[in-house]
Amino acid sequence: MLFKLAKFATPVLGAAFLAWLFFAPPQRVGYAPEQPIAYSHQLHAGKHNMDCQYCHTGVAESKKAGVPSLNICMNCHLYGTMGYVDGKLSSELDKLKKLFAEKKSPEWIRVHNLPDHVKFPHAPHVKALSKEGAATKEACAVCHGNVDQMVVVSQQMPLNMGWCVNCHRDYRDQNNYRTHGVSTSCNVCHY
């Protein structure tokens, strides 16, 4: 009996395992690619306690949070004296200044990347997650983790559909949907 079960179950389980191996969505938690410039969020958002929105300007009004344009960096690093350690410019900043002088942008590697068929808008999420009087980063941390402690940014949450939907269910308030509720209809994210 046990043998029979094993005889039939092995290929089935084996096939399932192989299928899972091939077709399972990639697990991106912990994904922390090396960036062209070793920018540290820990230094900026942590040590200097800068607000996320100082650089990610679109986050409260657009779909995209936006990676800062170089002129935002230069507010402090060109016109101010930030980035000098013992009177010496850090080598990473040197890269940035060279790029800026050449009117070129660094090609950042995208860390938090949703598939193209998912439409995620930042603005309403930031609005919903922000608490009165709290810093923006508390709202951001829900999905991005504690970026202010990251030297190299890594993905903290799975950002897969189940994870999104769980939260949407928690926040769901059908009676107040028109203004503040959250829906779990497919067309909210997929169109």
Burial class (CB in 10 A: 0-12, 13-18, 19+), 96: buried
Name the site residues for another protein (rule: CB under 8 A): 22-23, 25-26, 28, 33, 57-58, 60-64, 66-72, 99-100, 103-110, 113, 115-117, 119, 121-124, 127-128, 174-175, 177-181, 183, 185-188, 190-191
Q: Which is nearer to another protein, 72 or 135 (CB)?
A: 72
Q: Which is nearer to another protein, 8 or 80 (CB)?
A: 80
Residues in Cβ contact with 116 at an 8 Å cutoff, skipping those fewer than 6 apart: none
Burial class (CB in 10 A: 0-12, 13-18, 19+), 16: exposed
Alpha carbons 164 and 166: distance in angstroms, whole number: 6
Q: Which is nearer to another protein, 9 or 121 (CB)?
A: 121
Rounded to the nearest whole angstrom, what is the least distance from the CB of residue 183 to another protein in the complex?
Answer: 5
Pairing of strands 84-85, 88-89: antiparallel
Rounded to the nearest whole angstrom, what is the least distance from the CB of residue 163 to another protein in the complex?
Answer: 16
Q: Which is nearer to another protein, 4 or 178 (CB)?
A: 178
